[in-house]
Amino acid sequence: MAEDYAKLVNETVEKFGKDRGRLMDIARALHAELGHLSEDTIGLVADALGIHRVEVRDMASFYAFFSREPKGRATIRLCNAVVERMKGADEVAKAFEEAVGCSFGETSEDGKISLEYTPCIGMSDQPPSALVNGVVLTRIRPQDVPGIVAALRKGEGGGRLHEGGYESSEVELNLRQTGPVVFAPMERGAAIRKAVNMTADDVINELNRARVRGRGGAGFPTAMKWDFCRKAEADAHYVVCNGDEGEPGTFKDRVILTEQADLLFEGMTVAGYAIGAQEGFLYLRGEYEYLIGHLQQTLAKRRRLGLLGENICGREGFNFDIRIQLGAGAYVCGEESALIESLEGKRGAPRDRPPFPVQKGYLSRPSSVNNVETLCCAARIIEHGADWFAAMGTKDSTGTKLLSVSGDCERPGVYELEYGITVEKLLELVGADGAQAVQIGGPSGQCLAPKDFGRAISFEDVPTGGSVIVFGPERNLLECMRQFIEFFVDESCGWCAPCRVGTTLLLKQLEKVLEGKGTRADLDQLERLGVTVKTMSRCGLGQTAANPILTTLRNFPDLYDNLIKPGDFIPSFDLKKAIAESCAITGRNPELEEEHV
């Protein structure tokens, strides 16, 4: 047994070329086989790779999808993102707990099924959703749950759903509106053929003239990024596609990867040509593992067509290929430097910048990390020209933007719209009457009140990576914000103090106010903490983690004012709670005086 086990580890490590950089893949493979990564496994992997045990553990302990304790054959990861809870995830959770016979965070008595929560898995348009050993279930109703659980109980061989007889639901596309850039018909190789007949400088210059900016939300000019990367001297350059869309409420990349994977790979190849890279990576979030077969097939087809590989499109010396790296459950890996760390097989901790990835990225080589949508835009710009692209959108935000709309609206899904559309128009389009608030850009973005619905979605006004969550008039908005903060607590990487500790303290402070134990002083403290975390944190996660609080304090002050009490101090201390443990131990049951402050 022990020998088989060691053999499995060694074979797996061999399979990935004994490459320390492939530690994520090695861990994923072993986890799939063994169900968890024990301290023994970690030691064996370290020995096989010739690295330290603590380095393997450092990585393995970071990602949510890696367990270090034995788990059930099947792990049900129910998504508890805000939108999912708005649409019944709590009832589904209860149904799972009843059917499985354990609480979330636990494993059933027969050891077959584990229940876990997971943040947004990119299915906010079809909630409630869950991942079961990589298979996506959507629109789960409480009445479906006993059937799912029974199928999993029956299922052998790793508890795959289809083997248990339960038909997994198809992921719906929900592509509500197509546009001319991303979701238009494409001809494979059209952009590459044009590109290879241009100089690399001309390709970059075309993007520059199109004034295309990064679609992830930050809006850095793509041409400038490619140019910096190209001009940074090194023995290798890399194209990295950020397919780690983890911002709650975003699912546009899911639709691109499903419908227009070819266009993305086309864009990556053009990028490879422009910056002089021979290798590109698609970092795909672990939640989208179900797409990997389709993506690999697309890559294989492109290799057959000579659109990847050597001397692409007949261009002598233009060699480029793409590898897909799967993540393992970490929102922070959407931050480009954290993504690179993860790509190198390490914990997804962001790096300090400078140096920027375009100077020192993957393996310390210049790397251009671009959003899935951005790379699609790049391909189209080369195909149709900068003027065509720049004619769309606004002055500083050219082209179209994909918006993932979810929450309280009639038609959730992906919309490709020209930049400059107002929030109001968008709400009309998606069928959202009487919205009390709209969360633009996900939790890390901003929460807009109706007074701001006339504002335009664009880099110059309301920027967004694409997440739009509509809150109807009945929603408890601040409870939703609390859940957003909870998300940041879970997803903080822990590298820097203000984010690691500050997110937890923000949650406590907000909860105090929501429990009716807050005063004006507590709101001041909430804001002070928020600004500290925002100003002092190391990366974008911490710098935006307080936004749900800071933007609602600004845009919805009445909601807070209605919660606070007069006076300058209410303790969070609760005598009844504080003596409960003692009373249970000693059997005493004192009468408490009415609490006074």
Partner 1 sequence: MSDETMTIIIDGVEVAAQPGQTILEAADQAGVYIPRLCYHPDLPPGGHCRLCTVKVNGRPASSCTFPASDGLVIENDTEELNAFRRTIVEMLFVEGNHHCPSCEASGDCELQAMAYRLGLLTPTLPYLRQPRQLDASHKDVYIDRDRCILCGRCSRASKVEDGKTVFGFEGRGIHKRIAVDGAKGLSDTDMSVADEAARICPTGCLRVKREGYRVPVGQRTYDHTPIGSDIEHKKATR
Partner 2 sequence: MAKPLVATAPFTGCFGCHMSLLDIDDRILELADLVEFDKSPINDIKTFSRPVDVGLLEGGISNDENVEWLREFRKNCKVLVAVGQCALTGGVPAMRNTVPLKECLEEAYLNGPTVVDGCIPNDPDIPILLDKVYPCHEVVKIDYFLPGCPPSADTLWAALTALLTGKDVGLPYELIKYD
Q: How far is the CB of 501 from partner 2 (least distance, A)?
A: 16
Report which of 406, 472, 496, 476 is spatially closest to residue 442, judged by C-alpha positions: 406
Residue found under tokens 């504002």: 455
Which residue in the set 14, 17, 18, 61 belongs to the binding site for partner 1 (CB under 8 A)?
A: 61
Of the pair 353, 554, the CB lying nearest partner 1 is at: 353
Residue 503 interface partner, choices partner 2, partner 1, none, CB cut-off 5-8 Å depending on type: partner 1
Tokens 């004619």 locate to: 391
Beta strands at 413-418 and 175-177: parallel, antiparallel or unpaired? parallel
* DSSP 8-state secondary structure symbol assigned to residue 226: H
Label residue 571 left, alpha or beta by phi (over 0 means left) and psi (-120 to 50 means alpha).
Answer: beta
100/343 with CB nearer partner 1? 343
Q: Residue 588 binds which one of partner 2, partner 1, none, with CB within 5 to 8 A depending on kind?
A: partner 2
Show the binding pattern over residues 551-580: x = contacts partner 2 (CB under 8 A), - = does not. Answer: -----------------xx-xxx-x-xxxx
Residues 180/383, Cβ–Cβ less than 8 Å: no
Chosen from partner 2, partner 1, none, partner binding at 152 (C-beta under 5 to 8 Å by type): none
DSSP 515: T
| Nearest alpha-carbon partner for 549 in 488, 466, 597, 459 | 488
Catalogue the E-assigned strands of 473-596: none
What track of x and - describes contact with partner 1 for positions 330 through 369 (by CB under 8 A)?
x----------------x----x-x---------------
172 binds partner 1 (CB under 8 A): no
> What's the full length of the chain, in residues?
597
Find residue 282's DSSP bridge partners. Answer: 241, 324
**For residues 451 and 596, which CB has a smaller minimum distance to partner 2 in the complex?**
596
Phi and psi at residue 464, to the nearest 5°: -155, 145
The least distance separating partner 1 from the CB of residue 576, rounded to whole angstroms, comes to 18
| Stretch of 146-154, 443-451, 473-481, 587-595 contacting partner 2, by CB under 8 A | 587-595
Minimum separation from the CB atom of position 573 to partner 1 (A) = 10
Paired strand residues for 240: 281, 369
Partner touching 502 among partner 1, partner 2, none, CB below 5 to 8 Å by kind? partner 1
Site for partner 1 (CB under 8 A): how many residues?
41
Out of 218, 391, 531, 583, name the contact with partner 2 by CB under 8 A: 583
Q: Which residues contact 390 (CB under 8 A, 6 or more apart)?
A: 209, 210, 211, 398, 399
Q: Which residue has the tokens 């393995």?
A: 60
Given 163, 490, 517, 555, the residue binding partner 1 (CB under 8 A):
490
Q: Per DSSP, which regions of 80-226 are E strands?
A: 113-118, 130-132, 135-137, 175-177
Q: How many CB atoms are closer than 10 A to CB 4?
A: 8
Site residues for partner 1 per CB under 8 A: 39-40, 43, 52-55, 57-58, 61-62, 330, 347, 352, 354, 489-498, 500-505, 508, 528-529, 531-532, 535-538, 572
Site residues for partner 2 per CB under 8 A: 568-569, 571-573, 575, 577-583, 585-588, 590, 593, 596-597
